[in-house]
Amino acid sequence: MEKIEHGYGSDVDIVEVKGKRFVIIGTAHVSKESAELVRTVIEQEKPDKVCVELDEQRYKALSQKKKWESLDIKQVIKQKQLSTLIINIILASYQKKIGEQLGVMPGTELLEAAKTAEEMGIPIALADRDVRTTLKRAWSSMTFWQKLKFLSSGLAGVFDKEEITEEKLTELREKDALNELLSELGREMPILKRVLIDERDSYISTKMQSVEEEKIVSVVGAGHKEGIIKALEKEEIADLEEISVIPPPSPWVKIIGWGIPAIIIASLFYIGFTKGSSEAGDNVLFWILANGIPSALGALIAYGHPLTVVASFLAAPITSLTPVIGAGYVAAFVQAYIRPPIVKEFHTVTDDVSHVKLWWKNRLLRILLVFILSGLGSAIGTYVGAYKIVQSIF
């Protein structure tokens, strides 16, 4: 690989690999200066193709400005992707908050790259991995406690009302704000850095090298530029299929997921056999109440519809005996069916998420709140009920 001198400044690197020239622009996703630099470089370089750090879903969301309006919440629930949706909203809210203080919305420079290329008749290549795959891989790679830590860190940032100083704003203008957040999380949890940064560096560089054209301008976040250049230097070609697969859960997750229900059911049969049906019936009743009441209470605290509260109570004792689906998903689906979000609430969700009170007013956020609190109630009830039933054996 050979580096080429240029006059664009430190945000741009020009390298040649196997006869191809890559002009790599490292941008801040909330920087007006980055958008202007992107247009300038593309107009002056006149490349054969422009690669952007976007996947099809993100490109449509940015260009059509219908990221949340087009969301089918019922389908998200059916696919059991509410956890991924929560992460997505947290990240989008953080980036939007930074963008508003900087005076330019997230993704402006990526859209500017696409717009400039279109004006000049230059084809565009979407070089990033599907954002849904990235989030799923990140989520599945974390332990339960890491997930809690991630969500608490993200929510802390969302609810933080402290104004950003001019010094911090200047620093953010020179960096990729979202990748700075991800990098910070990566330092706390290295597994996240691998999935959110390193894997995507490999993915993007491989997509760049697969382009047939000889002169390519690539517009990527500043946090990815160094990793992409290193991958190009090594002429590294990643197995895109391998890093696009959602890893299966650990066998221990399945063992525990099915093991606990098996122990509970076996314990109830044992109690019935050794101590009589009356004792077994009392334990079954305790199991129903121990699961149903906390789950229903969670839905009630979330201001769930009365039918959502009833559904939580009825579902929790059953769903707790199978890892296939949780009470939170049942409650969320009922809530979404009876009180679906209106268009305005999709528009304001990334603003509303940073205000605690609005979680109860925005119907989309209320569905997420129902999911979280009813599921948490069911989880607490499961351990309380299991402890009581196993204790009854002795």
Is the distance from CB of 362 to CB of 282 less than 8 angstroms? no
Judge whether residue 336 has pLDDT over 60: yes
- Cα 387 from Cα 394, distance rounded (Å): 12
- Residue 128: predicted pLDDT: 93
Judge whether residue 264 has pLDDT over 50: yes
Judge whether residue 69 has pLDDT over 60: no
**Highest mean pLDDT: which of 27-36, 84-93, 203-212, 340-349?**
203-212
- Residue 158: predicted pLDDT: 55
pLDDT interval class at 89 (50, 70, 90): confident
pLDDT interval class at 231 (50, 70, 90): very high
pLDDT interval class at 200 (50, 70, 90): very high
> What is the percentage of the chain residues whose pLDDT exceeds 70?
83
> What is the percentage of the chain residues whose pLDDT exceeds 90?
39
| Nearby residues of 218 by Cβ (< 8 Å), 6 or more positions away | 22, 23, 24, 25, 50, 51, 52, 53, 127, 204, 208, 228
Number of residues in the chain: 394
* DSSP letters spanning 38-56: HHHHHHHH--SEEEES--H
CB atoms within 10 A of CB 282: 15
Judge whether residue 35 has pLDDT over 70: yes
What does DSSP say about strands 20-27 and 12-17: parallel, antiparallel, or unpaired? antiparallel
Sign, Cα dihedral of 136, 150, 55, 137: negative
- Cα 110 from Cα 42, distance rounded (Å): 12
Between 58 and 365, the higher pLDDT residue: 365
Secondary structure element (H or E) that encloses residue 60, with its range: helix 56-64
- φ, ψ of residue 177 to 5 degrees: the values are -60, -45
| pLDDT per position as a tens digit, 298-331 | 999 999 999 999 999 999 999 998 888 889 999 9
First to last CA, the chain: 71
Is the distance from CB of 290 to CB of 384 less than 8 angstroms? yes
Is the distance from CB of 317 to CB of 292 less than 8 angstroms? yes
CB atoms within 10 A of CB 289: 15
Between 346 and 328, the higher pLDDT residue: 328
- Indicate the pTM of the whole model: 0.68
- Cα 288 from Cα 311, distance rounded (Å): 13
Judge whether residue 165 has pLDDT over 80: no
- Residue 166: predicted pLDDT: 47
DSSP alpha helices (H): ranges in 131-176?
A: 131-141, 144-159, 166-173
Judge whether residue 76 has pLDDT over 60: yes
**pLDDT averaged over every residue in the chain:** 83
Closest CA to 354 of 121, 93, 110, 111: 93
pLDDT interval class at 205 (50, 70, 90): very high
Judge whether residue 209 has pLDDT over 90: yes
Q: What is the mean pLDDT of residues 176-196?
A: 67
Residue 129 Cα distances to 25, 175, 176, 269, 270, angstroms: 18, 21, 18, 50, 51
pLDDT interval class at 188 (50, 70, 90): low
Is the distance from CB of 85 to CB of 368 less than 8 angstroms? yes
The structure tokens listed for 267 are 């314990």
Judge whether residue 219 has pLDDT over 80: yes
> Range with the lowest mean pLDDT among 63-72, 274-283, 303-312?
63-72
Sign, Cα dihedral of 273, 276, 279, 285: positive
Secondary structure element (H or E) that encloses residue 274, with its range: helix 251-275
| pLDDT per position as a tens digit, 279-306 | 999 999 999 999 999 999 999 999 999 9
The structure tokens listed for 256 are 């525990």
